């Protein structure tokens, strides 16, 4: 089945609901955000979760050493680099994070305007494990609740998939995730606002409906990064 990440976990209750719904990974935001979590709180939640569930920290323009320190203290299994981290810095992140999963977020709106920005990342398969395509906006890097222009971005996603796994994010909901999977055939999907009842608070029914929709759309077990 398509890998499912439920991002912006802020409580053990929400984490347990996400796991029960069938999430493969949970996200914890350590960057400035209305959904930010402190390292100590994340560590308490992560310590109570099953080992097979991935715990991905979300960072924006942090130094590799800082990301590695938080990953160690919180018990993260991976890092999502959601800022303007340049391709030449990816090797530093790999050196600092070791075998933890490294996901680099790129903004689809920026790539649609200048696809050349993508090329330097595509040869970094040894330094990163996947690219996440998100919507974002000049004022907000993620969690906008608005999809990017999917049809226009299909060629970009295909180019990424030829080099490494692609994860689709940005405005996904239980009602549209099937269409996203049909269009992109992504390795993974990442959701925040589409499964919330309020900012930072998950909705159990939406979580279960979202994962069930993913299962309906794609029952195959896809190879991971």
CA 219, CA 1: separation in Å to the nearest integer?
5
Give residue 117's Cα distance to chain centre: 20
Residue tagged active-site, from 14, 69, 123, 134? 134
Q: Is 134 a catalytic residue?
A: yes
97 contacts: CB under 8 Å, gap ≥ 6 = 64, 67, 68, 71, 79
- With 0-12 / 13-18 / 19 or more C-beta atoms within 10 angstroms meaning exposed / middle / buried, residue 114 is exposed
Structure tokens of 116? 């050349």
- Strands annotated E in the chain: 3-6, 25-29, 54-59, 78-81, 101-107, 130-134, 166-168, 188-191, 196-198, 201-202
Q: Which three-class secondary structure state does DSSP give residue 111?
A: helix
Q: Which residues are catalytic?
A: 7, 134
């Amino acid at each position: 089945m398509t890998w499912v990440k439920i991002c912006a976990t802020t409580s053990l209750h929400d984490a347990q609901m996400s796991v029960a719904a069938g999430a493969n990974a949970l996200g914890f935001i350590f960057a400035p955000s209305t959904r930010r979590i402190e390292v100590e709180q994340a560590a308490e939640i992560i310590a109570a979760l099953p080992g097979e569930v991935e715990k991905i920290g979300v960072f924006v323009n942090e130094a590799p050493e800082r990301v590695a320190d938080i990953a160690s203290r919180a018990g993260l299994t991976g890092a999502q680099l959601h800022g303007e981290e340049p391709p030449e810095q990816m090797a530093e992140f790999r050196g600092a994070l070791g075998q933890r999963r490294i996901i680099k977020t790129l903004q689809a709106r920026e790539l649609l305007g200048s696809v050349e920005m993508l090329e330097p990342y595509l040869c970094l398969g040894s330094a990163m494990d996947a690219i996440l395509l998100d919507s974002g906006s000049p004022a907000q890097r993620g969690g906008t609740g608005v999809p990017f222009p999917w049809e226009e971005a299909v060629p970009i996603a295909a180019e990424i998939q030829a080099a490494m796994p692609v994860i689709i994010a940005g405005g996904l909901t239980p009602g549209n995730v099937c269409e996203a999977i049909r269009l992109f055939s992504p390795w993974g999907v990442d959701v925040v606002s589409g499964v919330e009842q309020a900012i930072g608070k998950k909705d159990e029914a939406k979580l279960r409906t979202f994962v069930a929709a993913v299962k309906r759309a794609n029952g195959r077990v896809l190879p991971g990064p």
